[in-house]
Copies of this chain bind each other. A is one copy, B any other.
Amino acid sequence: MIKVAVLGYGTVGSGIVEVINTNKDLIAKRVGEEIEVAYVLDLRDFPGDPVEKILVHDVDVIMNDPSVSIVAEAMGGVEPAYTFAKRAIESGKSFCTSNKELVAKHGAKLIAMAKEHNVNFLFEASVGGGIPIIRPLIHSISPENVVEVSGILNGTTNYILTKMTKEGLDFDSVLKDAQDKGFAERNPEADIEGYDACRKIAILASLAFGAQVDFEDIHTEGISKITDKDIEYAKAMGMAIKLIGSAKNEEGKISAMVAPMLVGPESSLYAVNDVFNAITVTGNTLSDVMFYGKGAGKLPTASAVVSDIIEEAKNLNRNIRIVWEEEKINLSAFEDINNRFFVRLSGNDKLNEDKVKEVFGDVKVVSCDLIKDEYAFTTKVLSEGVFADKTKEFDNVVNVIRIK
């Protein structure tokens, strides 16, 4: 019998208890021993819920009980999760979490601490909900020099962009609809401004490249400036707009970015719609593989946490080697990142045409039947810095979207 404590009895925490109870026998068979949830920590009471019997309000009860081998955290936020993680590991307990803020900020430190104490710190659910991606990166992409890891990492924004595309609606009405349906939070900033995707790509990049990628260093743009007109242009080009988190290794120079991007049908991310997430990994000998599924949801996310519990149960007193060093990777400066750009200028006149030719040289003009009063074009590959300098020459830029 292996005893587990669950920290937080919200959506994911209660899901963890549900998955373990629903598939108890199967899980016991796969671990070779039964898993029991011995404690659930929450400040609230849950009168009438079977969890009452194992509910505690004081984390000390868990930390001081040597019979608890594994602590699973689903509270969210950096604190007190970080303090609890350190205490658990120092007490010789393995720790696992669905908490992307915690992992992005302190993953390297907690991995090192777990190694030192011969226990484990795992975090499969922190990216992609139920989609297996963290463990495949560690154990399956292991022979690869990763060239790129990128993906659609946030279901809320993908739902909004898909609905704008399919129904021709504007951003605000779709956001309101998503909020009404529970697909977007009342305070949607973390999703729509890309902060959630930023933490996730920081975690993926740290694992792919083996050292700390600070999420604060990643240039991050959300989707709140994407309009129904941008979507019309995308359709006219046979492309889709997706919020993409990506990290690349170009001959040792590592760059990362979160931004809405135009994606063509040749990309496996093009057809990833609604609340689905997908992550592609490109290795130097493997070429591309993609992992796809619903990136959130109570039971799928809980299932990923339980997969960590199972691995930790199978590896008691044995540290699973994970290479994510605390030393920080210096990302390429934003100005040095190369991209192609789609640019919309107001006014569809010869003046625009001449000036664009003068500043950008040969460009590909984009026309959209529904929009007549603009001049739109796509550039060649330029660095962000050069592009920014060139666009300073124009006072009539309506919007700019990068092209993946």
Partner of A318, one of B145, B283, B318: B318
Task: List residues 363-399 of chain A with CB under 8 A from any CB of chain B.
Answer: none
A300 touching B284 in the complex, CB below 8 Å, given contacts A142-B310, A307-B143: no
Task: Tell whether, in the assembled complex, residue A140 and residue B135 are in contact, meaning their CB atoms are under 8 Å apart.
Answer: yes
**Is A18 interfacial (CB 8 A cutoff)?**
yes
| A22 CB contacts on chain B under 8 angstroms | 145, 284-285
**Is A136 interfacial (CB 8 A cutoff)?**
yes
Task: Tell whether, in the assembled complex, residue A19 and residue B140 are in contact, meaning their CB atoms are under 8 Å apart.
Answer: no
Task: Tell whether, in the assembled complex, residue A293 and residue B288 are in contact, meaning their CB atoms are under 8 Å apart.
Answer: yes
| A292 CB contacts on chain B under 8 angstroms | 268, 289-292
Interface size of A in residues (CB-CB distance below 8 Å)? 55
CA A348 to CA B300, docked complex, whole Å: 49
A interface with B by C-beta (< 8 Å):
15, 18-20, 22-23, 26-27, 29-32, 124, 130-132, 135-136, 139-145, 210, 268, 271, 283-294, 297, 299-300, 302-304, 306-307, 309-311, 314, 318, 321, 323
Task: Tell whether, in the assembled complex, residue B30 and residue A142 are in contact, meaning their CB atoms are under 8 Å apart.
Answer: yes
Partner of A287, one of B130, B286, B290, B307: B130
CA A283 to CA B23, docked complex, whole Å: 11
Task: Tell whether, in the assembled complex, residue B311 and residue A139 are in contact, meaning their CB atoms are under 8 Å apart.
Answer: yes
12 contacts between A and B (CB under 8 A): A26-B144, A27-B142, A27-B143, A132-B141, A136-B136, A142-B310, A143-B310, A289-B292, A290-B291, A290-B292, A291-B292, A292-B292
CA A293 to CA B282, docked complex, whole Å: 10
**Chain B minimum-CB-distance residue to A128:** B289
CA A31 to CA B139, docked complex, whole Å: 10
**Chain B minimum-CB-distance residue to A143:** B306
Partner of A32, one of B26, B306, B321: B321
**Given A139-B310, A285-B299, 20 additional A-B pairs, CB 8 A:** A20-B143, A23-B285, A26-B144, A26-B145, A30-B323, A32-B321, A130-B286, A131-B289, A132-B141, A139-B311, A140-B304, A140-B307, A143-B303, A143-B306, A283-B303, A285-B302, A285-B303, A289-B291, A290-B292, A318-B318
